[in-house]
């Protein structure tokens, strides 16, 4: 039997309360402990920072409404050349990944000629606005006429004349033919005088150069032969050279063709001999095409006119 001292009851009670509180805190702490979920931090980081490749916008190519049926001996470059369009546009319009994989009897949609892709416009020349300073000045208010006012006006006009800045001469921009890959160095494809000039109105897509049977025809610039044959009506034995993504050159009416499709050629290399195939006389018909559209070779070559 435990006998409690009345004087010590208060202290004992306090101790009991402290012990009970401590036990309760331990129990709560045990209940509060939870195992943190296992998270693969590395995986989550990779997912959150992974770069998503942007979807490339497919360029819109309008169809001309014309179709072409592939025949034996046709190539994509030949079809594009005959219709005056870019071969990449023909391939994209018809969803063709490999331009050499066309088949006989296949129907091809021909894209519309897009003159906006060919930049033949003259460069804009900066214009100096001589009267520009006058426009920025505040308008003069009306004042009553007097001798004093007249003298002040004359003095102000004299100050403007003496302090007026010198007129700047307009800067003339010089046009330079550039390309998306590199600047090309063009050379004459053969020796001779021009007997027919380029003309859009007369539908002459190039120039005719007179010469002799068997005369050398050379590549006007470095490139790759993309067509060598006689399948295009009106061109006879024809060679087409691709110089880069922008320019092609064509050499028609040859007597003999000395290069094959896929062959790389350098500027000045002999590629054919002049003739009169599908022509009324011995001559070289020479064309330069920019994005498939014929442009005047006189812009690139020192042609000698007859």
Q: Compute the average pLDDT of residues 207-233.
A: 96
223 near 264, Cβ under 8 Å?
yes
Given 81, 114, 147, the domain boundary residue is 114
Given 95, 114, 133, the domain boundary residue is 114
Residue 33 in any domain: the answer is no
Residue 51 in any domain: the answer is no
Q: Compute the average pLDDT of residues 240-253.
A: 97
Question: Which pLDDT tens digit goes with each residue over 140-152?
Answer: 455 555 566 656 6
CATH of the domain at 94: 3.10.350.10
Residue 120 in any domain: the answer is no
Task: For residues 215 and 198, give the distance between their C-alpha atoms in angstroms, rounded to a whole number.
Answer: 22
Q: Residue 278's domain spans which residues? A: 194-299
DSSP state of 305: B
Q: Is 192 exposed, middle or buried (0-12, 13-18, 19+ CB in 10 A)?
A: buried
224 near 264, Cβ under 8 Å?
yes
Confidence of residue 303 (pLDDT cuts 50, 70, 90): confident
φ and ψ of 139, to 5 deg? -70, 140
| Cβ neighbours around 255 below 10 Å, total | 17
Is residue 290 located within the same domain as residue 200? Answer: yes
Percent of the chain surpassing pLDDT 90: 41
Residue 65 has pLDDT above 80, yes or no: no
Residue 101 in any domain: the answer is yes
Q: Compute the average pLDDT of residues 171-177.
A: 39
Helix ranges, the chain (H): 9-32, 41-49, 76-83, 87-93, 132-136, 147-163
Question: Which pLDDT tens digit goes with each residue over 124-139?
Answer: 333 434 333 444 444 4
Question: Which pLDDT tens digit goes with each residue over 74-107?
Answer: 888 899 898 888 888 888 889 888 877 889 999 9
Q: Where does residue 278 fall: left (phi above 0), alpha (psi -120 to 50 degrees), or beta otherwise? A: left
What confidence score (pLDDT) does residue 44 get? 42
What confidence score (pLDDT) does residue 216 get? 98
Given 91, 114, 137, the domain boundary residue is 114
Is residue 199 located within the same domain as residue 107? Answer: no
Question: Which pLDDT tens digit goes with each residue over 188-208?
Answer: 999 999 999 999 999 999 999
Residue 171 CA to its chain's centroid (Å): 28
Residue 222 in any domain: the answer is yes
Residue 258 in any domain: the answer is yes
Residue 27 has pLDDT above 50, yes or no: yes
**DSSP per-residue string spanning 181-220:** S-------SSSS-EEE--BTTTTB-SEEEE--TT-EEE-S
What confidence score (pLDDT) does residue 62 get? 78
Task: Look at the chain and report how many structural domains it folds into.
Answer: 2
Question: Which pLDDT tens digit goes with each residue over 269-292?
Answer: 999 999 999 999 999 999 999 999
What confidence score (pLDDT) does residue 187 get? 96
Any idea which residue has 């980081």 for tokens?
45
**pTM above 0.85?**
no
Task: For residues 271 and 90, give the distance between their C-alpha atoms in angstroms, rounded to a whole number.
Answer: 27
Look over the chain and give the mean of its residue pLDDT values, rounded to a whole number: 75
CATH of the domain at 215: 2.70.70.10
């Amino acid at each position: 039997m435990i006998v409690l001292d009345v004087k010590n009851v208060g202290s004992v009670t306090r101790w009991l309360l402290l012990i009970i509180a401590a036990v309760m805190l331990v129990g709560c702490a045990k209940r509060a402990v939870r195992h943190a979920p296992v998270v693969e931090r590395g995986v989550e980081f990779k997912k959150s920072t992974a770069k998503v490749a942007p979807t490339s916008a497919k360029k819109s190519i309008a169809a001309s409404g014309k179709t072409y049926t592939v025949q034996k001996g046709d190539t994509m470059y030949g079809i594009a050349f005959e219709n005056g369009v870019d071969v990449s546009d023909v391939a994209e319009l018809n969803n063709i990944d490999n331009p050499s994989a066309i088949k006989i009897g296949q129907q091809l949609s021909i894209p519309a000629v897009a003159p906006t892709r060919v930049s033949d416009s003259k460069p804009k020349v900066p214009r100096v606005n001589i009267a520009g300073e006058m426009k920025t000045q505040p308008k003069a208010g009306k004042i009553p006429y007097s001798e004093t006012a007249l003298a002040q006006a004359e003095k102000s006009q004299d100050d403007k004349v003496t302090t007026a800045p010198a007129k700047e001469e307009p800067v003339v921009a010089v046009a330079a033919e550039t390309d998306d890959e590199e600047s090309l160095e063009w050379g004459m494809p053969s020796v001779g005088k021009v007997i027919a000039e380029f003309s859009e109105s007369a539908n002459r897509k190039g120039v005719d150069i007179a010469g002799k049977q068997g005369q050398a025809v050379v590549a006007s610039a470095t490139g790759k032969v993309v067509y060598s044959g006689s399948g295009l009506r009106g061109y006879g034995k024809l060679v087409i050279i691709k110089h880069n993504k922008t320019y092609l050159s064509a050499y028609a009416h040859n007597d003999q063709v000395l290069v094959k499709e896929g062959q790389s050629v350098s500027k000045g290399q002999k590629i054919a001999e002049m003739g009169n195939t599908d022509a009324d006389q011995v001559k070289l018909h020479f064309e330069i095409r920019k994005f498939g559209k014929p442009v005047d070779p006189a812009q690139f070559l020192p042609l000698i006119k007859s």
